[in-house]
Amino acid sequence: MDDVSFPDSYPMVLKRLKQLERKLERSPELYRNVRKQIEEYQTKEYAHEATEEELRTADPKKVWYLPLNVVLNPKKPDKVRLIWDAAAMVQGISLNSMLLKGPDLLVPLVSVLLNFRERRIAFGGDFREMYHQMKMIAKDKSAQWFRNNSAKEPKVYVMNVATFGSTSSPASAQYVKNRNAEEHAGQFPEAAMAIIKRHYVDDYFDSVDTIEEAVERAKQVRFIHKRAGFDIRNWVSNSLEVLTALWDAKPGGAVVFNHDKQKSNERVLGVIWEQENVAFAFSATPRPEMQVYLCGEKRPTKRNVLSCVMGFFDPLGLLSPFTIHGKMLVQHLWRSGCEWDHQIDEHGWNQWQPWIGLLPKVEELRIPRCCLGDAESSSVESLELHIFTDARKHAYGCVAYLRSVVNGELNCNLVMSRAKVAPLKRQSISRLELMAAVPGARLSRTTTIIILITLLEVLKLN
């Protein structure tokens, strides 16, 4: 940390702590859970109780108290997450305002998913408490103090590791992960590249041709991560042999790809990988409060419609033919001047009903995960990437298909797509066709760089 001067954050954290205590008083079980987690943090050496010497010798201008809070997930009532609010401000200053965010080192989720669709054997895992594996240097620990009660003789704790919520934690974690991989690139080149290119935050997803490759790659990735103190676990795969070889893996079930790591891995609406069916699926289960609108018992407001339409997490655009009609409805509501909490008009209602009527069909939809089916890339005889663009009065879009000849058999698979509503200002069809060509060109570039080049290299080797 550079030479900074913090204001007195103690009154702020005390006020926030009293609010938390009132919340915990209403739930003895929650109180016990929080207390247990703080004890576990000390056992794992993520935090420690401040010593008398630390309290006495600490420079008040270098001390910052982090407000402690808890996050509950209604989908996981037994899971309570402790968070430290690094954005809490005093006199216009917060811990985050004193930290450098660092560069964005995240690999785009689309890139990870497209690589994940390359080969027939898929596998992946995630980190255990990624940020907490990064230790803070001694002189910076005074900026991460916290209290767990507001008694007259309170205990002050010090976080020894990076926290979830600090603006510098994401870049720092990605840098450490990548730097460690680079240091092992000479010994394990493919595993090191997989760590750098096929990780999204703390999730790792990869695909290879054979079971032997998958097991070897996974073990090498795990070994490299351990050298940096990272523990990758919860292995998943569409191959039982791979899961057996990794011994701590969890067979079966479904994997949900989540774009928001601040929330639970389980989403009401999201991209789901069904390992048994080797396919991507989608959940269209509505939230309880939306049920009355989806059953047609009550007309939704513009706020309800937007919440439902934007609830679909579809980074590859596999649901574009469905979601674009919901976006067209939202655009109509904006054009008509409908207020946020006013029920939609008759025209909007006539659009809403057939759209929500397709939700059961969405849950039945299955998109093959692997673009080559069950064939090894060595058996591919030819590959072609086909991009189609089109436009109509209300929307335009593009789609990419991968055409392959495998062992003399022709296969075509949907790779990804993009769709957008037409501008509010009316455009000619010719202009909209040109507008569709722009995302089409971008889609071609993205898919060519990520998927086709890798597979073409395999063809050259063959």
Burial 228-249 (b: 16+ CB within 10 A, else e): bebebeebbbbbeebbebbeeb
Residue 462 CA to residue 210 CA, distance in Å, equals 16
Confidence of residue 3 (pLDDT cuts 50, 70, 90): confident
Stretch among 7-11, 305-309, 310-314, 425-429 having the lowest mean pLDDT:
310-314
| Residue 152, phi then psi, degrees to nearest 5 | -65, -30
- Residue 279 vs residues 120, 199, 211, 366: alpha-carbon distances, Å: 11, 20, 18, 6
- Coil/strand/helix, residue 119: coil
Q: What is the pLDDT of residue 291?
A: 85
Confidence of residue 451 (pLDDT cuts 50, 70, 90): confident
H/E element, 360: helix 359-364
Token pair 């990419």 in the structure block, residue: 400
Spatial CB neighbours of 163, under 8 Å, sequence gap ≥ 6 = 66, 83, 84, 86, 131, 132, 144, 169
For the cut 50, the answer to whether the pLDDT of residue 1 exceeds it is no
Q: Give ∠ CA 154-157-163 in degrees, rounded to 5.
A: 140
Spatial CB neighbours of 369, under 8 Å, sequence gap ≥ 6 = 116, 117, 122, 238, 273, 278, 279, 280
Q: What is the pLDDT of residue 454?
A: 67
Q: What is the pLDDT of residue 72?
A: 80
Token pair in block for residue 142: 């005074």
Q: What is the pLDDT of residue 250?
A: 60
Please state the pTM of the whole predicted model.
0.87
Give the mean pLDDT of 344-373.
92
- Residue 428 vs residues 269, 420, 436: alpha-carbon distances, Å: 35, 15, 12
Q: What is the pLDDT of residue 324?
A: 96
Confidence of residue 102 (pLDDT cuts 50, 70, 90): very high
> Could you tell me where the beta strands, DSSP code E, fall in 275-422?
279-282, 367-368, 380-391, 395-406, 409-421
Q: What is the pLDDT of residue 300?
A: 94
Query: What domains does the chain contain, in order, with CATH numbers?
Result: 10-103+139-167 (3.10.10), 172-271 (no CATH), 280-364 (no CATH), 370-461 (3.10.20)
Q: What is the pLDDT of residue 262?
A: 40
Spatial CB neighbours of 283, under 8 Å, sequence gap ≥ 6 = 267, 268, 269, 270, 272, 363
Q: What is the pLDDT of residue 286?
A: 75
For the cut 90, the answer to whether the pLDDT of residue 76 exceeds it is no
For the cut 60, the answer to whether the pLDDT of residue 259 exceeds it is no
- Coil/strand/helix, residue 432: helix
Tell me what percent of the chain is helix, strand and coil, each rounded to the nearest 5: 40, 25, 35
Q: What is the pLDDT of residues 268-294, one digit of tens each?
A: 345 788 877 789 988 887 777 888 888
Q: What is the pLDDT of residue 329?
A: 96
Alpha helices in 396-428 (DSSP H): none
Token pair 């995240």 in the structure block, residue: 106
Residue that wins the pLDDT comparison between 115 and 269: 115
Token pair 């689309």 in the structure block, residue: 110
Q: What is the pLDDT of residues 288-320, one digit of tens each?
A: 788 888 887 889 999 999 999 988 889 999 999
Stretch among 177-181, 253-257, 346-350 having the lowest mean pLDDT:
253-257
Give the mean pLDDT of 178-205.
95
> How do 279-282 and 199-200 pair as beta strands?
unpaired
Chain-wide mean pLDDT for the chain?
88
Stretch among 102-116, 138-152, 337-351 having the lowest mean pLDDT:
138-152
Q: What is the pLDDT of residue 317?
A: 94
> Could you tell me where the beta strands, DSSP code E, fall in 173-241?
199-200, 203-208, 232-237
Q: What is the pLDDT of residue 379?
A: 85
Give the mean pLDDT of 236-250.
84
Stretch among 65-74, 86-95, 200-209, 237-246 having the lowest mean pLDDT:
65-74
For the cut 70, the answer to whether the pLDDT of residue 418 exceeds it is yes
Neighbours of 195 (CB within 10 A): 26
